[in-house]
Amino acid sequence: MTAQVILVPAGAEYQAVMRGLRAVSHAPPVVAVPAGPAAFRAFLESWADRSRFANRGILLMGLGGSLSPGHSVGDGLLLEQVWDAAGKDGSKGYSCDRTLTQALAQRLKIPIETGVTCDRVITTVTEKRRLGDRYQAAVVDMESAVLLAAMPQAKVAILRVISDDCSEDLPDIAAAIGPDGSLRPVVLTLSFLKNPMAAATFIRGSLRGLKALEQAARSL
């Protein structure tokens, strides 16, 4: 079983996946989507091809933050379950398609874990540990639960590559992502200037994560 379409957050993640797929013949279409739960939900509600892929295989790819000491920068994970911490009660879980997930895990030789979706970038070690303990999750992102909730009949697999581990704080970049999912470069730069050491760690991790994301796309 294979995915019929790949969804990737717009920007550097989308570009990394496209680089990886250049050498892949007969690759499925790749759709750039906005980052963040609100913007992604709005995209799915108006997505022209939503009905076309409503009951077909969808692969969501992108970066994520590690919530487990067992997973470091550059590691790839497939998700079997995702908790929605961005929702009203923060306790609803969704399951990914088992057949597609296991097929991709065998092909890519990466583990299958549990994830959690939040409404902002999680930047502190303390909060990462709290999330990991509460949900028994290995990775945090901002889109996965939204897709699973919006398209319950689709056969969804989710691949996340770690771009920051759970042992170091990140710059406070929450305000750098606009309500529409776009990046605010000036706000991002100011947040980096406030904490240059954390910014350097974040940049290094992002570059390693993007390279691993590109390799994962190529391995498909």
Angle (deg, nearest 10), helices 196-219 and 185-194:
130
Lowest mean per-residue pLDDT among 88-102, 131-145, 187-201? 187-201
The CATH number linked to 34 is: 3.40.50.1580
Task: Burial-class residue 196 by CB neighbours within 10 Å (0-12, 13-18, 19+).
Answer: exposed
Give domain status of residue 193, yes or no.
no
Tracing tokens 């050491």 back to the chain, one arrives at 197
Tally of CB atoms within 10 A around 3: 25
- Which residue range is the domain that position 34 belongs to? 5-168+207-219
The confidence score (pLDDT) of residue 1 equals 60
Please give the model's pTM, rounded to 2 decimal places.
0.91
Give domain status of residue 61, yes or no.
yes
Give domain status of residue 107, yes or no.
yes
Give domain status of residue 197, yes or no.
no
Give domain status of residue 202, yes or no.
no
Count of the separate structural domains present in the chain: 1
Give domain status of residue 183, yes or no.
no
Give domain status of residue 195, yes or no.
no
| Mean pLDDT, range 29-37, rounded to an integer | 94
Tracing tokens 């042992």 back to the chain, one arrives at 167
Whether residue 217 is predicted with pLDDT greater than 90 in this model: the reply is yes
Q: pLDDT: is 152 or 179 the higher one?
A: 152
Q: What is the pLDDT of residues 117-150, one digit of tens each?
A: 998 889 899 999 999 999 999 999 999 999 999 9
